[in-house]
Amino acid sequence: MTVKALRGTIQIPGDKSISHRSVMFGSIAEGTTTINGFLPGDDCLSTISCFQKLGVDIQMIDEQSVVVKGKGIQALKEPSDILDVGNSGTTIRLMMGILANTPFHSTLIGDESIAKRPMKRVTGPLRDMNIHLDGRKDANFTPLVIRGGQAKGIHYTSPVASAQVKSAILLAGLQAEGTTSVTEPAKSRDHTERMLEAFGVKVEEEGLTVSIEGGQTLRGTHVEVPGDISSAAFFLVAGAIIANSCIEIQKVGMNPTRTGILDVLSNMGASIETVKETKETAEPYADLVVEASHLKGTEVSGDLIPRLIDEIPIIALAATQAEGITVIKDAAELKVKETNRIDTVVNELTKMGANIEATEDGMIIHGGTKLHGANVNSHGDHRIGMMLAVASCIAEGETIIENRDAVSVSYPQFFAHLESLQQ
């Protein structure tokens, strides 16, 4: 159904990456950690559940406020049940790093999507650190069984720029003998480094290498979680491609390792204004105002990719409405997300009339195409579901989105917010 305009103000949910880490780090810290702006999505609730099974006292005061009463990493207890991470890749990969510092047995599983996602990028370097890990296909797939031990520091050169890989290794290094360092081909999200420092841990950074000395202790603190820019991206694009729109999005996280979406939309000619910017906290944030814009095609590649990997589905939609051709490349990482996002984006947008083709490491989108309603499917991927919902706003005719409930993973109020802005 074609929407005439989107107008109004919204505050998006808290950042998923920061919400995960605030619970994890609070659980292994000594003392109480208070969290404000927490994202109560399915993924982050899976993280809370896992640490409660490890004996941590975690209380949700309300939907966005959480109190974690940590007693240090040595106080974690052997779980009597399997640790189920649900759909959360962040939970399973970062937990492996934390559990590397425990002397007991843990088993990690997830849903069908997690069962297909490769884990050797984490289990491999953790094994190099003297951690006992086993699992399906030589610990490349869940279920994963981990028994920590005395981790030994390593220097790991990662073949991919991945915050999850980097974070898992650094977390294993917290109690390791000596120094643990990770070098990446490009800088990935630095939420872990920022938050470790907020919890009192010394982190060294030199170029593309991050290092941590073993034997450090985390101290409970207060964490203010800004809005998730990956969630804001859907409304930034919606405001830009739907005629007569003007949307104000409040308190959006502006971490430089996450703002690639703003760079791309700016390159495409989108009208986005940054107001009320705050930099005093560990994670900067600002209000963003987006208006309907005339977009043009662009190239998205190289060092930009790690800064917007989760936003590529919605960038692809923006490109269908831009003048000219948009090329997305160097994004093979999309193949191992909740779905193979290259193929899924191409297939679902093609159903709606988009002129888009998949490549080995991205896609090519020919812009200026009118979309029409169709029967489409999120395939259980929250970001695909939200992208298709925005696409339905500019499509002529009825669009039916199957598995739309997948959006609850990161944005439970998404459809309500989208409807509230419609004119």
* Rounded distance between C-alpha atoms, residue 40 and residue 123, angstroms: 28
> pLDDT value at position 238?
98
Can you say which residues are annotated as belonging to the binding site for 3-phosphoshikimate?
16-17, 21, 162, 164, 310, 337
Going by pLDDT thresholds of 50, 70 and 90, the confidence category of residue 281 is: confident
For the chain, give the mean pLDDT. Answer: 95
| Token code pair at residue 291 | 């208006």
For 211-239, the pLDDT digits (tens) are: 999 999 999 999 999 999 999 999 999 99
As annotated, the binding site for phosphoenolpyruvate includes 16, 89, 117, 164, 341, 383
Q: Is residue 336 pLDDT above 80, yes or no?
A: no
Task: Kindly state the tokens that stand for 361.
Answer: 């490491």
Question: Model confidence over 110-119: pLDDT tens digits?
Answer: 999 999 999 9
> What b/e string do you get for 8-39 counting C-beta neighbours within 10 Å, with b at 16 or more?
eebbbbbbbbbbbbbbbbbbbbbbebbbebbb
Q: How many residues does the structure list for the chain?
A: 423
Distance (Å, whole) CA 355 – CA 182: 40
Binned at pLDDT 50, 70 and 90, residue 63 comes out as confident
Confidence of residue 334 (pLDDT cuts 50, 70, 90): confident
Q: Is it the case that residue 1 has pLDDT exceeding 80?
A: no
**pLDDT mean over 33-43:** 95
Exposed, middle or buried by CB within 10 Å (0-12, 13-18, 19+), for 206?
A: exposed
Q: Show which residues are catalytic.
A: 310
Residue 273, number of CB atoms within 10 A of its CB: 11
pLDDT at 338: 73
Residue 339 phi, psi (nearest 5)? -130, 175
State yes or no: pLDDT of 333 exceeds 90.
no
Tell me how far apart the alpha carbons of residues 296 and 250 are, in angstroms, rounded to a whole number. Answer: 26
**What CA–CA distances, in Å, run from 52 to 27, 79, 82, 211, 239?**
9, 9, 12, 29, 40
Which domains, from first to last, does the chain contain? 16-224 (3.65.10.10), 226-421 (3.65.10.10)
Structure tokens at 60: 């949700």
What is the spatial distance between Cα 93 and Cα 116, in angstroms, rounded to a whole number?
14
Tokens of 142: 């869940």
H-helix or E-strand spanning residue 373: none
- Statement: residue 20 has pLDDT above 90: yes
Amino acid at 84: D
The residues, any chain, with a CB within 8 Å of residue 117's CB and separated by 6 or more, are 89, 141, 336, 337
In the predicted structure, residue 297 carries a pLDDT above the cut 90: yes
Place of tokens 């069908």: 112
Q: Is the pLDDT of residue 280 over 80?
A: no
**Where residue 363 falls among pLDDT bands split at 50, 70, 90?**
very high
Residues 6+ apart with CB under 8 A from 280: none
Q: Residue 366: its pLDDT value, please?
A: 98
DSSP-derived 3-state class of residue 282: coil
What mean pLDDT do residues 107-126 have? 95
For residue 2, is pLDDT > 90? no
Q: What is the pLDDT of residue 337?
A: 79
Question: Residue 33: pLDDT above 80?
Answer: yes
Average pLDDT for 58-74: 96
Q: Tell me what pLDDT residue 207 has.
A: 96
β-pairing, 325-328 vs 362-366, is antiparallel
Tell me what the mean pLDDT of segment 65-71 comes to: 98
Question: What order of strands is seen across the sheet that includes strand 203-206?
Answer: 155-157, 179-183, 209-213, 203-206
Closest CA to 73 of 21, 24, 29, 23: 29
Q: Is the pLDDT of residue 251 over 80?
A: yes
Question: What mean pLDDT is predicted for residues 117-139?
Answer: 96
In whole angstroms, give the CA distance from residue 41 to residue 46: 9
Has residue 19 got a pLDDT over 80? yes
Closest CA to 167 of 96, 63, 85, 227: 96
Q: For tokens 């029409």, what's the residue?
A: 372
State how far the alpha carbon of 323 is from the alpha carbons of 160, 168, 391, in Å. 32, 41, 17
Q: Is the pLDDT of residue 381 over 90?
A: yes
Burial class (CB in 10 A: 0-12, 13-18, 19+), 423: exposed
pLDDT of residue 168: 98
Q: Alpha helix (H) ranges present in 30-162?
A: 42-53, 89-99, 112-115, 120-128, 136-139
- Pairing verdict, β 375-377 and 400-402: parallel
* Distance of alpha carbon 161 from alpha carbon 414, whole angstroms: 29
Instruction: Point out the least confidently predicted range of 51-55, 127-131, 262-266, 405-409.
Output: 405-409
Q: What average pLDDT does this structure show over 156-167? A: 95
* Strands (DSSP E) found in 296-341: 299-300, 325-328
Question: Average pLDDT of 285-302?
Answer: 97
Specify the pLDDT at position 202.
98
Q: What is the pTM assigned to this prediction?
A: 0.90
pLDDT above 90: residue 131: yes
- In the prediction, which pLDDT does 268 show? 98
